Structure 1
Amino acid sequence: MSLDTLMALASASLEPPPVASDAFRGAMRHLAGAVSIVTVGRGAERNGLTATSMVSLSVDPPTLLLCVNRSASAWPLLVRHGHFGVNVLAASQAAIADRFAGRNGEKGAERFAGAEWLDLATGAPILADALVAFDCELEERIDRHSHAILIGRVRALHGVPADDALLYWRGAYGAIQPAG
């Protein structure tokens, strides 16, 4: 056997097995995340989704990063409109998170029923009693695997910081309060 063959065999045997999707999903459930609803569209052509994959990207200019599954029902509107709202939910708003996750069968504009919505800067629906809401213009989109990374330039802010934050951890909702 040649040295190249021996080295190839040695490196192949050292490579770890691939990580299974279910194992990765289960591992990610140990990461607590703030629960937000992402909203897009106008009037009867509105939709949204529940997300825990939003983080600050930059303060100057104010920018955030959001990961969205491209099979989500709201995806075509996100692409078409080029703006979106990220509404961070309070602990008392778990029912809204469920509604936008489609757990009760609501679809599209039906998900917006029973709440007050504002129009701040871009036209994206902003939840009036969100803990904090970011009205964003889509600055860049990066497609990777099943998801897209959306970079949103924050054009307006709104919030009612009067409640504890809603978290998602280990497959369930919970709340977090400031220490002390």
Structure 2
Amino acid sequence: MNHQVASLATDDIEVDAFKTVMRNVAGAVSIVTAAHGGIRAGLTATSLTALSAEPPTVIVCVNKAASAWPTIEAARHFAINVLAARHRPIADRFAGRGGFKGEARFGQGRWGRLVTGAPTLDGALAVLDCETEEALERHSHTILIGRIKAIRHAEDEGALLYWRGVYGQLDDELQSGAGI
């Protein structure tokens, strides 16, 4: 095992070193979507966490340089579509791989709506349809706090994960609940 300890001041931590360390944190892959003024937009994200169950709220972080950000910001709502392992091609589209931009990102999968008007992916493992409660700008990102207005879920397949720069999925042991 390689145990490197960096004792640096915060200002001395290089961006690439930080990204390398953070790639050791596995995360569920989601598509964050919004619609405003007849425009649908979305992006792939792994920065989702629950904030509170009472009231039901979540946090998602969105890069302000993302092409979808202006629509998400203007809409004041968003949907988080948690992806199953079979949705890897959709995750790639919304990450901009293959050159997909704007409306072309919605060219795969069936998309509907729940309550807020944000696009929701039929067959997603979970959908959290949120109203933007607060948007906090920090550095390159905006931290969105979303009050959940509607949910939909399915429990019949494994989640798409992102770890160390690649996609993967839960193994059978974890999916069956037989883990520790």
For residues 73 and 36 of structure 2, the distance between their equivalents in structure 1, rounded to whole angstroms, comes to 14
For residues 108 and 26 of structure 1, the distance between their equivalents in structure 2, rounded to whole angstroms, comes to 29
Indicate conservation of the 8 Å contact 1:37/1:87, yes or no.
Answer: yes
**SS at 1:30's partner residue?**
coil
1:76 corresponds to? 70
1:114 corresponds to? 108
Question: Given the two structures, how large is their TM-score scaled by the length of structure 2?
Answer: 0.88
Give, in angstroms, the shift of residue 25 of structure 1: 0.4
User: Judging changes above 3 Å, is the alpha-carbon distance between structure 1 residues 113 and 145 closer, same or farther for their aligned structure 2 residues?
Assistant: same
For residues 37 and 126 of structure 2, the distance between their equivalents in structure 1, rounded to whole angstroms, comes to 22
1:175 to 164, 169, 176: 169
Superposition misfits of 4+ residues, deviation over 4 angstroms: none
| 1:136 aligns to 2:130 (yes or no) | yes
Indicate conservation of the 8 Å contact 2:125/2:159, yes or no.
Answer: yes
Give, in angstroms, the shift of residue 115 of structure 1: 1.2
Matches within 5 A, 1:14-25: 16=9, 18-25=12-19
2:4 corresponds to? none
Indicate conservation of the 8 Å contact 2:51/2:58, yes or no.
Answer: yes
Indicate conservation of the 8 Å contact 2:130/2:150, yes or no.
Answer: yes
The amino acid across from 1:29 in the alignment is: R
CA deviations on 1:14-72 (whole Å, 9 max, x unpaired) are 97471100000010000000000001116851110000000000001000000010000
Percent of paired sites with the same residue: 52
1:95 corresponds to? 89
For residues 8 and 169 of structure 2, the distance between their equivalents in structure 1, rounded to whole angstroms, comes to 41
For residues 116 and 160 of structure 2, the distance between their equivalents in structure 1, rounded to whole angstroms, comes to 26
For residues 38 and 94 of structure 2, the distance between their equivalents in structure 1, rounded to whole angstroms, comes to 15
| 1:164 aligns to 2:132 (yes or no) | no
CA deviations on 1:55-101 (whole Å, 9 max, x unpaired) are 00000100000001000001000111100110000011111100000
**SS at 2:44's partner residue?**
strand
For residues 93 and 56 of structure 1, the distance between their equivalents in structure 2, rounded to whole angstroms, comes to 22
2:3 corresponds to? none
**SS at 2:168's partner residue?**
strand
Indicate conservation of the 8 Å contact 1:44/1:109, yes or no.
Answer: no
**SS at 1:23's partner residue?**
helix
User: Judging changes above 3 Å, is the alpha-carbon distance between structure 1 residues 43 and 145 closer, same or farther for their aligned structure 2 residues?
Assistant: closer
| 1:64 aligns to 2:86 (yes or no) | no
For residues 158 and 121 of structure 1, the distance between their equivalents in structure 2, rounded to whole angstroms, comes to 11
Any stretches of 5+ residues in structure 1 without a counterpart? 1-13
**Number of equivalent positions:** 167
Any stretches of 5+ residues in structure 2 without a counterpart? 1-6
User: Judging changes above 3 Å, is the alpha-carbon distance between structure 1 residues 15 and 164 closer, same or farther for their aligned structure 2 residues?
Assistant: closer
Indicate conservation of the 8 Å contact 1:88/1:130, yes or no.
Answer: yes
Give, in angstroms, the shift of residue 166 of structure 1: 0.5
Give, in angstroms, the shift of residue 118 of structure 1: 1.8
| 1:39 aligns to 2:60 (yes or no) | no
